[in-house]
Structure 1
Amino acid sequence: MNKHTMSLAATAVAALVLAGCGTTSERTSDEPQAQNSKQCKGADGKYVIGMSQANVAEPYRQRMDDDIKAAAAEVPQFEVKFADAAQDNAKQVADVENYITQQIDLLIISPNEAKPLTAVVKKAYDQGIPVLVLDRKVEGDAYTGFIGGDNVQIGTEAGKYVAEKVLPNGGNVVEIKGLAGATPQAERNQGFATGIKANPKVKVVATASGDWLREKGQAQMDALLKANPKIDVVYAHNDPMAEGAYLAAKAVGREKEMKFIGIDALPIPSGGIKAVEQGRLTATFTYPTNGKEAIAAAKKLLVDCGTIEKTQTLPTRLIDKTNAAQIYAQENPTG
């Protein structure tokens, strides 16, 4: 091969290498996104984070926003913008589109429902915006990291607690589910069904959807009470719906006939830990808001130019009358 031919071959190879690297901010869906992307300017940079919240009607979600705000206040490089989708998938899609247009440095999202939010989350990710998904999932893996509890495990723990501790001799359970289409709803249902298998005498006799809201949980429980003369346990997918169910039962004088179990265990006066301590709920299971962890992950990506795990699973624990007061004091020392 003469020198001229060798030179042409080398040029062609170099061109192919450059083409393979890509020169735009777009990426194909099967390419892994570099986590420490163009957004990372180190400690001297300033970063705008967009937080897209499914709704703030649930106390859990308001607490998540509050925890993100408090954690971000400790990182001088961060400015966080908040958007409330108010349980409207179309609005949440528009909120994320707006953040993309604003060219934010990182997106945090807790999706209202998985499927309707998947495409716009992927769009942000494909444009090089790191994406942290909290609590509720999207379909596929076009995001930088997911942070949340293991909802199957939480449901399983709740089911075992009912089967072994609350109803060792069996009994009737009604289940008040969260919003259909939100991944925690399906996973908490699946886990509970697995957990109660430990006791074949425990039966789920009716279910209803309370959409995570206290008022809807109360309305659904009112109908369940009329249709079911014997209810031993109410398993609700979050504490507000469990409290709503308790209020419905109390209104007809049946609250002492049954036990009420929820999930979230917020350490606030209106939260599940206090409800257990005061006797309205028999038990709840902690479900971290992920806010502090999300900001820590954002700092690692944007300020430290580091990497994070694709999935960060946070633990749960049972709160009942034996530990409610102690845990509330630990989590909320101001009272």
Structure 2
Amino acid sequence: MKMTITAALACSTAMFGAAAAAQTMTVGITQNNVGVDSYQTTYERAFIAAAEANPDVNAIVLDAGGDVARQLAQMEDLIQQQVDAIIIWPTNGEAVIPAVRRAHNAGIPVVVTNSNIAEQGFDFIRSFSGPDNVTQGSRSAEIMCERFTALGIQDEARVVQISGQPGYTTAIERQQGFDDRLPEVCPNVTLVETQPGDWNREKSQQVMEAFLIKYDDIDGVYSGDDNMGIGALNAARAAGREGIVFVGATNFAVGYDAMAEGDYWGSIYQSPVDDAEAALQTAIDILNGEDVPFLNYFDTPKITQTNMDEYTKPVF
């Protein structure tokens, strides 16, 4: 998919028009997989809206459809077009590094959005714009431990985990944060098994169905996002397994609704609109010569049934 958005300045004279055109920045973005979930769909809409609202930006919006080879080809296409900056939402944090390096060598600043590339590629990017996924995983572990403690099962609870897509940096980091933090806050809780749900609700439901058959005693489920968490919740409902504490990350509308219904305990609040707007603004700031942090995080607070009224229901 390719979509080009051009924002043109109204010009009173030919000379003014030429000057305005010279200031226009061409920013290309290659996204991970727009159709895979509502977060990425909302992100794309927000990015396009932000680009259209800025008269100094010409945006080339691409979607890799979850295909590494397609994303590499899109990166090469943007390099050949000599865009001013490239934003990449990596399909795979390691596989995209050669393409990012080529952009860097061509003098094109690269901003990584939402999910970072592997550390060995850090020399080739100007900034990462997005959530701190390790912190998200850590906060999810804290939410779960706090709930177990309130229920009095912190010394015996058993947890299963549904992670995101293997090789995807966000999935790796959220799992790392959870795995490292849970034994620190609840040392007697047992993490029984982790399986990938690939950010897909149906796949996650199947993973949870297998967990429910394999384990008679499951007290908690941690999922790398609420889309997968609702898949797991649906499996538990169908099996008649009650009393399980469900905690996710990236609070989707379906997760918010399930929290309101009392079936889903907590998550991490993250806005795809903030994510998209921050990525574009980071690229613009770099092109304007401003100092930008290498790790340009935006905050993602805890949200549970106890404080959800403080947050607006997600639009995705």
Q: TM-score, length-normalised on structure 1?
A: 0.80
8 A Cα contact 2:113 2:129, kept in partner: yes
Q: Name the aligned partner's letter for residue 77 of structure 2.
A: N
Change (3 A) 1:241 1:182: same
Q: Provide Cα deviations, 1:208-262, integer angstroms capped at 9, x if missing partner.
A: 11111111111111111111111111100111000000111111111x2312111
Identify the match of residue 96 of structure 1 among 40, 56, 75. 75
Q: Separation in 2 of the partners of 1:156 and 1:43?
A: 46
Deviation at residue 291 of structure 1 after TM alignment = 1.0
Residues 1:67 and 2:50 are matched in the alignment: no
Deviation at residue 83 of structure 1 after TM alignment = 1.7
Q: Separation in 2 of the partners of 1:322 and 1:190?
A: 26
8 A Cα contact 1:135 1:147, kept in partner: yes
8 A Cα contact 1:263 1:285, kept in partner: yes
Superposed, 1:107-126 pairs within 5 Å as: 107-126=86-105
Alignment RMSD (CA, Å): 2.1
Name the residue aligned to 1:47.
25
**Greater CA drift, 93-102 or 111-120:** 93-102
The number of residue pairs the alignment matches comes to 287
8 A Cα contact 1:231 1:257, kept in partner: no
SS at match of 1:51: strand
**If you compute each CA radius of gyration, which structure gives the higher value, 1 or 2?**
1
8 A Cα contact 2:130 2:278, kept in partner: no
**Greater CA drift, 142-151 or 271-280:** 271-280
Identify the match of residue 144 of structure 1 among 123, 126, 146. 126
Name the residue aligned to 1:242.
229
Unpaired stretches in structure 1, ≥5 consecutive residues: 1-40
Deviation at residue 305 of structure 1 after TM alignment = 3.5
SS at match of 2:204: helix
8 A Cα contact 2:143 2:266, kept in partner: no
Identify the match of residue 282 of structure 1 among 265, 270, 280. 265
Q: Separation in 2 of the partners of 1:162 and 1:326?
A: 20
Q: Separation in 2 of the partners of 1:128 and 1:325?
A: 47
Change (3 A) 1:156 1:43: farther
8 A Cα contact 1:121 1:143, kept in partner: yes
8 A Cα contact 1:173 1:231, kept in partner: yes
Name the residue aligned to 2:174.
188
Q: Provide Cα deviations, 1:29-53, integer angstroms capped at 9, x if missing partner.
A: xxxxxxxxxxxx9885222221111
Name the residue aligned to 1:160.
142
Superposed, 1:1-335 pairs within 5 Å as: 45-56=23-34, 57-139=36-118, 140-141=121-122, 142-166=124-148, 167-197=153-183, 198-254=185-241, 256-266=242-252, 270-289=253-272, 290-302=275-287, 304-328=288-312
Change (3 A) 1:259 1:165: closer
Q: TM-score, length-normalised on structure 2?
A: 0.84
Change (3 A) 1:228 1:80: same
SS at match of 2:55: coil
8 A Cα contact 1:42 1:305, kept in partner: no
Unpaired stretches in structure 2, ≥5 consecutive residues: 1-18
Deviation at residue 271 of structure 1 after TM alignment = 4.2
Deviation at residue 68 of structure 1 after TM alignment = 1.4
SS at match of 1:294: helix
